[in-house]
Structure 1
Amino acid sequence: MAPSFDTTTHTVCVMDASGHLGFSIVQRLLQRGYTVHASLQKHGKEDMFNGISTDSNKLKLFRSDPFDYPSIIEALRGCSGLFYTFEPPHDQPNHDEYMADVEVRAAHNVLEACAQTETIDKVVFTSSATAVVWREDRKTMELDLDERHWSDVNFCRKFKLWHGVSKTMAEKSAWALAMDRGVNMVSINAGLLMTHDLSIKHPYLRGAAEMYEDGVFVTVDLPFLVDAHICVYEEVSSYGRYLCFNHIINTHEDAVQLAQKLTPDAASSSSTSSSSSSPESGDLGKGFIEQKISNKKLNKLMVNFEA
């Protein structure tokens, strides 16, 4: 981070602030002295923000729907930056073949609003590692996967990897609009976020066994992901995409521990029923899987970041 960066002079918007990541980013920004516009979708809960700021002037709540353009503009007014993470609408909670259209429209609206907001200097766009890892040639590549690679949407559609479809299409749409409209944007391609309520139904986990076998099944802890977002915002030299993870599932023990977290009921029963209940605990092998994905670009940027 550049020594001259004064967080107390920055007003930034976090959208959607009601999810695990958004809420944690709001907390950390307030701790660092920012003024924050916390933008919640209509199903968000305002009371979750009670008491998180000792200065009432530092936090302002907004009700913004990513499909309601004026509400986005209102939340961005006066802000120098945006942290954008997509949360599925409450009436469409699951990723399916139609979610890509929903997520693309939301990203387009938000980036267009940023282009129309003269005070916006940088957008941090939360994407996913699933927009990187799903490729036909992933098993034969000589080099590790990194942020230079994109998932193949047709490949994802073929195997019903809807999370990969949505994240890839939405991020590509955001990049296209950002470059066309001159919006300064960086993206964070995050691994599977390890939250306390993570379940086996999470759409990221479709194809988990294949990711494991390919050495690209990565996860990220919430504090590390929050730090990464703030680091790429504050660092003036940040650019492009950043793969973000701080753990890789590449041993049998890792796979079993994750399977037990995802299916606690199965874990307490017999090992046979546990195996049949969780695809992650199936025929994954018992050796060490070579890591084939790299986050060196982000790690280099974060070396001097003061969390």
Structure 2
Amino acid sequence: MRMGAGDEEAGAGLWNYNSSSKRVCVMDASGRLGSALVHRLLHRGYSVHAALHNHHEVESYKRQYWSDHENNNSKLRVLDSDPLDYQSIMEALKGCCALFYSFELPSDHPTYDEVMGELEVRAAHNVLEACAQTDTIDKVVFTSSATAVLWRDNNNQHDALPSESDVDERNWSDINFCKKFKLWHGLSKTVAEKTAWALAMDRGVNMVSINGGLLMCPDLSIKDPYLLGAAEMFKDGVFVTVDLKFLVEAHICVFEDISSYGRYLCFNHIINCNNDVVNLATKMSQSSSPHAMEDNGVYQQRISNDKLSKLMLDYDSGIQVE
């Protein structure tokens, strides 16, 4: 494993994905993001190890993707890879030059709590340790969340978010604050990402992270764990969302650009006025906006994705950063 994606001597430029090493691993490939990443990577000419966290989905996944990608059958390998099983992770990574890692809730446990948070942290530890032990891995793209950035106590007051300055990827959510107010999603994402970064720095793993906003998808509901504390995010001007296509392109960009480093806040829309709230509620099949989010004001945006915007400025994705 080699550090170097952010080193000055590396210089700017794109990853040479036309080189002989074009095999990457996507884990969990069955989630919304993972599935979309597999499609996009195959389209860009990569060979992909699609690692699924649920072994019951392997055969159906193969049938679906091989019917959708008749010309890419030889480029796709589908594996059962339990993030709590170190050996299965090693098998999924074998021969790959990179890993795209995300943790999505299993269908039988669709919300966050203390137990699920502990599982996510253990999974992050196992995956980064496995990457450190896999000589072919040159880069890890670790999917985190904006909730690992937003939450912190402001002078021990009830305001959950800082009021004096804009928020960006340099900020970390306060673990004790998340525990106190049972912000399980923010707590899990923060501790898991910190665990991953600690291992990456200790083992010399070249890692970048994507801290995405609320993922907009057809099955989005008011029960999405990201939405806990939505009223506070809204009023503090940091309630951000991201479209799946944009999120995927951001992942590909930070992977292929050799100058990428550290964390990247990723969003392409901010919810900061009442109309935004109503539109969001409509997308979640609600007849009106949730009571906790009702507000007639317009709040100043206080969150920045300038770092990602600059990186993607010359990236050939056809998508604009707001």
- TM-score normalised according to structure 1 size: 0.92
Aligned twin of 2:26: 14
Shift of 1:200: 0.6
Q: How far apart are the structure 1 equivalents of 2:280 and 2:131?
A: 38
Q: Which has the higher contact order (CA 8 A, sep 6+)?
A: 2
> Of 75, 93, 99, which aligns to 2:116?
99
Indicate the percent of aligned positions where both proteins have the same amino acid: 62
- Any gaps of 5 or more consecutive residues in structure 2? 1-11, 155-159, 318-322
Give per-residue Cα distances to partners, 1:62-111, cap 9 Å, x unaligned: 11000111111001000000000002244433201222211000000000
- Any gaps of 5 or more consecutive residues in structure 1? 268-273
Give per-residue Cα distances to partners, 1:16-56, cap 9 Å, x unaligned: 00011001001110111111111111243423323233122
Aligned twin of 2:149: 132
| Letter matched to residue 79 of structure 2 | F
SS in structure 2 of the partner of residue 18 of structure 1: coil
Aligned twin of 1:116: 133
- Of stretches 223-232 and 134-143 in structure 1, the one that deviates more from structure 2 is 134-143
Q: How far apart are the structure 2 equivalents of 1:211 and 1:114?
A: 35
| Letter matched to residue 17 of structure 1 | A
Matched, 1:149 2:158: no
Shift of 1:288: 1.5
Matched, 1:37 2:49: yes
- TM-score normalised according to structure 2 size: 0.88
- Of stretches 43-52 and 192-201 in structure 1, the one that deviates more from structure 2 is 43-52
Matched, 1:27 2:39: yes
Matched, 1:80 2:97: yes
Contact 2:66 2:72 in 1 (8 A): no
Aligned residues: 295
Give per-residue Cα distances to partners, 1:165-194, cap 9 Å, x unaligned: 000000000000010000000000000000
Matched, 1:50 2:66: yes
| Letter matched to residue 52 of structure 1 | D
Q: How far apart are the structure 1 equivalents of 2:68 and 2:13?
A: 27
Contact 1:209 1:279 in 2 (8 A): no
Aligned twin of 2:300: 290
Aligned twin of 1:271: none
Matched, 1:213 2:235: yes
Matched, 1:67 2:84: yes
